[in-house]
Amino acid sequence: MKTIYLCGGINKLSDAEAMDWREAAKKELAGLYNFLDPMRRDYRGKEAESVFQIIAGDMEDIRQAHILLVNAARPSWGTGMEVYAGYSPPFSRQVITVCPDDRPSPWLIGHSHKILKSFPEAFVFLREIAA
């Protein structure tokens, strides 16, 4: 079973903003994928003293994942760095991005294998490619 890293903003977001889409993905795709959720290492409020732990944990999750499911509705620096790292060698992971913007950044387009407008669309796509 393939593993999905749930890539998206955390810093400066509410619990709902950071977690609701991740919980929806885990529920909608249960039994088809394993998940790596960076919220299990919630460093909100402790970012300054946890910089290297945050980066190391996220990079290890990307290394272990097959797919990055990216929430780019409200992009963050960390999300952008993770997308770049995940897409690029040595990781070269499949990057599935959810971005409701009609004109996403060329950088996001160039580092995503598939861009969808909503999570329901992404869940349908991920069900189709589950193997």
Residue 50, pLDDT score: 92
Structure pTM? 0.96
Q: What is the pLDDT of residues 62-97, one digit of tens each?
A: 999 999 999 999 878 999 999 999 999 999 999 999
Residue 75, pLDDT score: 74
Residue 102, pLDDT score: 95
CA atoms within 13 A on the CB side of 54: 20
Identify the domain containing residue 98 by its residue range. 3-129
Q: What is the pLDDT of residues 7-24, one digit of tens each?
A: 999 988 999 999 999 999
The count of domains in the chain is 1
Q: CA-CA distance, 64 to 20, in Å (whole number)?
A: 23
Share of the chain above pLDDT 70, in %: 99
Work out the mean pLDDT of the chain and round it to a whole number.
Answer: 96
CA angle, 5 then 50 then 36, to 5°: 15
pLDDT of 42 over the 90 cut? no
For residue 83, what are its two tokens? Answer: 């997308």
Q: Phi and psi for 49 in degrees, rounded to 5?
A: -90, 0
Report CA-CA distances (Å) from 82 to 25, 28, 86, 102, 131.
18, 23, 6, 22, 24
Reply yes or no: is the peptide bond before residue 90 cis, omega within 30 of 0: yes
Residue 11, pLDDT score: 87
Most distant pair of Cα atoms in the chain: their distance: 41
Q: Is 90 helix (H, G, I), strand (E, B) or coil?
A: coil
Query: Domain of 108: which CATH number?
Result: 3.40.50.450
